[in-house]
Copies of this chain bind each other. A is one copy, B any other.
Amino acid sequence: MAFSPLLQNLVDALRCLPGVGPKSAQRMALHLLERDRSAALTLSGALVEAVEKIGECTECRTLSEDPVCEICSSEARDRGLLCVLESPVDMMAIEQTGGYNGLYFVLKGRLSPIDGIGPDALGIDKLLSKVINGSVEELILATNPTVEGEATSHYIAEQLSDHPVKISRIAHGVPVGGELEYVDGGTLAHALAGRRSLR
């Protein structure tokens, strides 16, 4: 015997969540139905509302229910700095460090000719015109240190070769507190190639 059809539906639907396998989905479904039906309804409503109302910021392309997101519309941010990222998660990660006060541009992906993802899909035209016509003094390329992320940053930098804006790439290397022994080879190679002279 399996679960009743509706319970099985719910278990299957929960498996669409990243990191949720069959056992966890089962535990989640039973927990909600046995102990927390009001939380299940709250979650259901939050899902529909988020899907229906959250679109993207017209300035930076991050997830936002307002046409212009809170960061892009804030007077307190430094409009001379523009940080280019692959995803809203990366944006949250940088915001949570509290160490950056500029603006962002979220590509929502990276160049990947194999998957048919070109500059258009990433809004690169928009990014370039923001840089060329706006107040950007420094463009910080913070795509991931993968082959495709590097290619994407390289492509953007190339498109701006005739424009006098400062362009930087975030540093890659051994994580702070990391031990060399446990760092992967690619990172270690980056760390060596990017070494700085101390005196």
> What residues of chain A have their CB less than 8 Å away from a CB belonging to chain B?
1, 3-7, 9-10, 12-14, 16-19, 24, 26-34, 36-37, 39-51, 53-54, 63-66, 69-71, 74, 87-89, 92, 95, 108
Contacts and interface: CB of A to CB of B under 8 A. Distances in A.
Given A33-B63, A87-B34, A54 B6 contact: yes
A33 B18 contact: no
Q: How many copies does the complex hold?
A: 2
A50 B31 CA distance: 12
Nearest to A27: B18
Contact of A43 (B1, B14, B74): B14
B46 A47 contact: no
B50 A6 contact: yes
A175 B36 CA distance: 32
Contacts of A12: 46
Nearest to A24: B19
